[in-house]
Structure 1
Amino acid sequence: MDSPEVEVLVIGAGPVGLATALQLGRLGVTTRVVERRGSTSTHPKAHVVNARTMELFRDWGVSERVRAAALPVERAVGIGWMTRMAGLELGRIMADEQPGEPAGGSADSSEPSLSCPQDDLEPILLAAVRELGIRVDFGVEAIGVEQDETGVDVTVRRRPGTAEPAPEPTLRQARGEAARESVETLRARYVVAADGARSPVREHLGIRAAALAPAGHLINVYFHADLTEFARERPYLVWWILNGDTQGAFITLDGIGRWTYNFAFDPEREHRDTYTPERCAEIVRRAVGVPDLKVDVRSTLPWTLEIAIAERFRAGRVFLAGDAAHRFPPTGGFGMNTGVQDAHNLAWKLATVLRGHAGDGLLDTYEAERMEVAEFNAAQSMRNAERMAATGAMFTDAAALSAIEEPEGQPDGDALRARLAAGIPAQREHFFFRGQVFGYTYSSAGVVADGTLARRSTITDYVANARPGALAPHTWFRTPDGTRLASVDLVRGGFLLLAGPLGQDWLAAARQAESCLGVEIAAYRVGPGAELADEGGGWQELYGVGPTGCVLVRPDGHVAFRSAHADPGTRADLVSVLSRVLAKSPRPSRG
């Protein structure tokens, strides 16, 4: 083919692939998605949607739909540890006990963290993608990838019995023949492989993603049961169960009848197929503590607790995202969130390069920025798992827990319960992690440093700042007509320049940069009599700029450049600064 069929082909229609396609489509990039599964997920799998991901969903117009499908925030304000759901409570951690972490959100974001199961989330993203006219084909597997200087040829195979999507029937179907396995080649300028932990595309490209020795093997049981009696007075998202029969964790999906139960098993001693629905239902009954409980097991999913990071996230015109690039334990819920945020980092860069407004070097910053985040999140997720194991909440010898249900006053039982309870406060980083969500800072060619020292966040505590590379801190503004806008609402697919009330020259510099580089820059002054009013009154201090200073924010919400106090030289240098960020030489100004 002389020209690509689409600009970007996304391989994989999980949350990361759909998020990639959704953002690309909103940026006007012609996109197609293929997925080897026959449908979206039917097993809940991931469920944590952290506040940063919700900010992205807000930008993409799906946050209200996700919020409607999510567990009500008032049903997810704590984590409990107990012998059985109907048994003795050993301890708990509640959101309202964490300073600055009220139930449903915090002062650091316009959006709350939510729990929305993957089987509910994927259809929402799929519908939004299709509303943009993007074609999504299920039952289509990528079996070969070849690239040249202008594009990528992807050989795909449609599974037997999988019909072609209407309204684009194949010639074979037009002739009335039954759908059967077919092979074709799709061509795109770029490919995003979001095809899962065992990514065939990654394997085809020869990119290694060697996993560390597994820390454990688990079974995730998705079931329906009425547990209202036990959950009514306990608004816990996660229930850790510890007794001599079973050790694991319940996760409530709707606060009523949809649940999962995760527990460890030893593949050296028994095959995962021995965990039939009947056996899993009995394990659930034991974990609840009700022998005659009605349990409807819908599906089971074996999984491995492990870390693996791909050695590269880019191979020419092919990019890895989500589990194809990194996988790590679910302890903390960062897997899906990290992947969706990969998509956010990559999509605007692809769109900008495809429109000729940036050089290829901008695409190199995807790996430079996202690999460091993935490595940190992976390490922290494993630390969370290790701390849980240290309290006996995971992979504990059942014999060691035989005394946990002894009546009070029995020395062995009292001592064991006291030891486990003492370890619970140390698990806070596992569940409350504002610093990890918002506190990461990029350092790459896509950021122009200003020489200031980093202000480090901890896992739990976020230190908001606008140092280049950091996320532009959340704050609220008002327009002259009284409209209330969050800082994230101002970043709408292009660059954003925020200047102090005396920074009118920055607005002129932004117009010049637009003319020279072709990118869109929304530019506003903040302060009395300016385009935006500072609702809280602390914007200049929060962003570290004076009345004549400015910050330039990238389309992904990270600060690209900051000038605390302007002078004629720095204002004139905005074109040069943005050229460095975009890896692109400016064209002559029309002015």
Structure 2
Amino acid sequence: MPEFDTDVLVVGGGGAGLTASMLLSRLGVAHLLVSALPATSALPKAHLLNQRTMEIFAELGIAETVYRRGTPPEQMRYSGWYAGLAGPAGDYGRRFGLIESWGCGGLSADWAVASPQRQTNLPQIRLEPILKSRAEELAPGRVCFHHEVTAFTQDADGVTATVLDRGAGRPYQVRARYLLACDGGRTVGRQLGIAMEGARDLARIATVHLSADLSAWARDPEVLIRWLSLPHTGGAATMVPMGPDRWGPDSEEWVVHLNYATDDPRGLDDEQVIADLRAALGLPDHPLTVHLITRWSIEGVVADRFRDGRVFLLGDAAHRHPPTGGLGLNSAIQDAANLAWKLAAVLYGHAAERLLDTYEPERKPVTARNVRRSVDNALNHIVTAQAAGIVPGAGPEANWRQLRRLWSGLPEDAGPARAVRRAIAAQSMEFNEHNVEYGYTYSSAAVLPDGTSEPGNPDPVRLYQPCARPGHPLPHAWLDDDHGRRLPVHDLLRPGRFLLVAGENGQDWCEAAAELATAWPLDAVRVGHLDGDLLDPRSTWTRHRGHGPEGAVLVRPDRFVAWRAQEATDATARLSQALRSLLGH
């Protein structure tokens, strides 16, 4: 059997695996990606891409492609609630709720100051080919689809896997120092006996991917997701445009999610699902083409461990989310960003093996919180539907009577209308969970506390508060160089390297960094409002750095703050000790 030796074997070619491959390539780490699937996903699945993910894509050189292919920002500013889509009466399709979503397409100042990148929307069926193409460009011949891991063993020095090239019908062996399980939990985690813990089978969904011209009824161009209350059926549905070339009401393709009770057999029959789709949309005869029907259950589960020896779990192999909030794919991509630089540091000899022990304590709490948030987001939609008064089995007349109270303007209907408005406002827990998406923090041996307290936050779900406290994400700030060019502080980081950002009087820190850079992957820069290698024209960095002119902040390669110092006393010794501690020596 042919043998292949590499440093890292990536199993799975979805968002987590392809991102891991690209990051490892950028870090110069030898690796092989194998995916049992013959091609990238045929399912629309996840589509929202948050700011943290887009920062990673910018580093990988694909952000502009994703933005160009994705939803224009002005067409994803809101989510809306409607009385169905189409029907014989004038109230069909009436909008009764609207909420700003994901920074309101760039109009929210809070989101604009958080990151140089904005949110976007691109279905996974169109995102994954972009990721795959870039991964192949960075690692020619090392991204192998239709290659399935059929068995593996691990020992103290590495992992040995048997891979079947399904196209050629030939097996081969791969010997790697580490294995990344990005296979959705289908193979690797099960073989290791890793359990998934949490809520399962909360609801059953049938998702229909279709082509149709719905522009006559989906009239709000600024709305991305449409939540349909269906008085005529007693149910609910969700509509999301899928592009690919036009968005908003003119989208050529759509995804419609239909809810079924866990014991309802209708959701298992394709013809019945299509009939239910037409009934939900109120379009019994309108031309439409169904591309695919998929069925899935809402669950929120997390692996009992993210590491087993030399095997690491990423993405759906480690955590699975309801789609509400769009946290699943983003968490998977951010898993890869957390782990890739640590693997490179160990493989290059800059870090001790124990640095890899920080992956689970950093990522598991974050992804477990994301799973809880996703479940809560889904449950709150049930609360909204109940407040609207739609009851299965009550009949169209009774359901319409309840729903029309929301816009009747009658004094006796003010209470129900207010309850629905409050329930929709509460859905900002999904559409404006900025601190969940961007402000999450890490606590592990790869973060050195500086004795300061966690800043108070009146709303830890919605309000992201930038700061350069150890464990927090690097705050965004625009800086100017001596040629008048403006760049974000994020762009100062180079792949696999730490960055020391010193104050305007931090010459000692920069000299210490230059001395230590012969042994450590380390860069340094002085930043101040009036002096420094780069200037802080809006004093944004000065506001967030948390130290004076002689202090410094040490940033990890994944753009999280690792360490902070208030003054430059014994700069070389203190910086050396910080690096040794952070890297596990």
Q: 1:190 to 1:321 in 2, by over 3 A?
A: same
SS at match of 1:229: coil
Aligned equivalent of 1:359, options 339, 352, 370: 352
The within-5 A match list for 1:393-404 is 397-400=391-394, 402=396, 403-404=398-399
Q: Once the two structures are superposed, what CA deviation does each residue of 1:61-117 show, in whole Å capped at 9, x if it has no partner?
A: 100010011011111111111111232222111349979962995221111111110
SS at match of 2:64: helix
Q: Is 1:104–1:113's contact at 8 Å kept on the other side of the alignment?
A: no
Q: Distance in 2 between matches of 1:320 and 1:122?
A: 19
Count residues with an aligned counterpart.
560
Cα displacement (A) at 1:250: 0.5
Aligned equivalent of 2:296, options 303, 306, 311: 303
Percent of aligned positions with the same letter in both sequences? 36
The answer for the alignment partner of 1:317 in structure 2 is: 310
The answer for the alignment partner of 1:492 in structure 2 is: 494
The within-5 A match list for 1:11-410 is 11-86=11-86, 87-95=93-101, 102=108, 105-134=111-140, 135-159=142-166, 162=167, 179-180=168-169, 182-196=170-184, 198-244=185-231, 245=233, 246-254=235-243, 255=247, 256-270=251-265, 272-274=267-269, 276=270, 278-392=271-385, 397-400=391-394, 402=396, 403-406=398-401, 408=404
Cα displacement (A) at 1:183: 2.5
SS at match of 2:199: coil
Q: Distance in 1 between matches of 2:109 and 2:149?
A: 43
Q: Once the two structures are superposed, what CA deviation does each residue of 1:419-460 show, in whole Å capped at 9, x if it has no partner?
A: 534421111111112111222111100011000001144211
Aligned equivalent of 1:508, options 489, 492, 511: 511
The answer for the alignment partner of 1:175 in structure 2 is: none
SS at match of 1:340: helix
The answer for the alignment partner of 1:165 in structure 2 is: none
Q: 1:381 to 1:95 in 2, by over 3 A?
A: closer
Q: Once the two structures are superposed, what CA deviation does each residue of 1:362-384 show, in whole Å capped at 9, x if it has no partner?
A: 10101110001011111111111
Matched to 1:109, the amino acid is S
Cα displacement (A) at 1:184: 2.3
Cα displacement (A) at 1:418: 6.0
SS at match of 1:109: coil
* The 10-residue stretch of structure 1 (223-232 or 447-456) with the greater mean CA deviation from structure 2: 223-232
Q: 1:456 to 1:136 in 2, by over 3 A?
A: farther
Q: Is 2:500–2:522's contact at 8 Å kept on the other side of the alignment?
A: no
Q: Distance in 1 between matches of 2:79 and 2:505?
A: 49
Q: Distance in 2 between matches of 1:499 and 1:359?
A: 26
* The 10-residue stretch of structure 1 (235-244 or 285-294) with the greater mean CA deviation from structure 2: 285-294
The within-5 A match list for 1:526-537 is 526-537=528-539
Q: Once the two structures are superposed, what CA deviation does each residue of 1:328-366 show, in whole Å capped at 9, x if it has no partner?
A: 211110000011000000000001111011001110101
Q: Is 1:6–1:30's contact at 8 Å kept on the other side of the alignment?
A: yes
Matched to 1:543, the amino acid is R
Q: Once the two structures are superposed, what CA deviation does each residue of 1:140-192 show, in whole Å capped at 9, x if it has no partner?
A: 22121211222211122233xx2xxxxxxxxxxxxxxxx43x33221111111
Q: Distance in 1 between matches of 2:103 and 2:528?
A: 35
Q: Distance in 2 between matches of 1:441 and 1:44?
A: 30
The answer for the alignment partner of 1:573 in structure 2 is: 574
SS at match of 1:5: strand
Q: Is 1:105–1:111's contact at 8 Å kept on the other side of the alignment?
A: no
Cα displacement (A) at 1:53: 0.5
Q: Is 1:73–1:103's contact at 8 Å kept on the other side of the alignment?
A: no
SS at match of 2:217: helix
Q: 1:514 to 1:2 in 2, by over 3 A?
A: farther
Matched, 1:455 2:444: no
SS at match of 1:33: strand
Q: 1:94 to 1:240 in 2, by over 3 A?
A: same
Q: Distance in 2 between matches of 1:5 and 1:65?
A: 33
The answer for the alignment partner of 1:176 in structure 2 is: none
Q: Distance in 2 between matches of 1:140 and 1:327?
A: 24
Matched to 2:493, the amino acid is V
Q: Once the two structures are superposed, what CA deviation does each residue of 1:374-399 show, in whole Å capped at 9, x if it has no partner?
A: 11111111111111111127997522
Q: Distance in 2 between matches of 1:39 and 1:144?
A: 21
Q: Distance in 1 between matches of 2:152 and 2:70?
A: 37
SS at match of 1:398: coil
Matched to 1:552, the amino acid is L
Q: 1:118 to 1:401 in 2, by over 3 A?
A: farther
SS at match of 1:287: helix
Q: Tell me the C-alpha RMSD between the 2 structures.
A: 2.6
SS at match of 2:399: coil
Cα displacement (A) at 1:59: 1.0
Aligned equivalent of 2:556, options 554, 558, 565: 554
Matched to 1:497, the amino acid is L
Cα displacement (A) at 1:216: 1.0
Q: Once the two structures are superposed, what CA deviation does each residue of 1:209-242 show, in whole Å capped at 9, x if it has no partner?
A: 1342421111111111111223343421110011
Q: Once the two structures are superposed, what CA deviation does each residue of 1:234-292 show, in whole Å capped at 9, x if it has no partner?
A: 42111001114241210112221211111222342316431x1x443333333332322
Q: 1:349 to 1:327 in 2, by over 3 A?
A: same
Matched to 1:140, the amino acid is H
Q: Is 2:529–2:538's contact at 8 Å kept on the other side of the alignment?
A: no
In the superposition, the TM-score normalised over structure 2's length comes to 0.90
Cα displacement (A) at 1:473: 0.5
The answer for the alignment partner of 2:90 in structure 1 is: none
Q: Distance in 2 between matches of 1:472 and 1:382?
A: 28
Matched to 2:400, the amino acid is E
In the superposition, the TM-score normalised over structure 1's length comes to 0.89
Q: Distance in 1 between matches of 2:102 and 2:330?
A: 23
The answer for the alignment partner of 1:8 in structure 2 is: 8
SS at match of 2:562: strand
Q: 1:400 to 1:509 in 2, by over 3 A?
A: farther
Cα displacement (A) at 1:118: 0.2
SS at match of 1:391: helix
Cα displacement (A) at 1:569: 3.0
Q: Is 1:456–1:463's contact at 8 Å kept on the other side of the alignment?
A: no
Q: Distance in 2 between matches of 1:486 and 1:287?
A: 47
Q: Distance in 1 between matches of 2:103 and 2:11?
A: 43
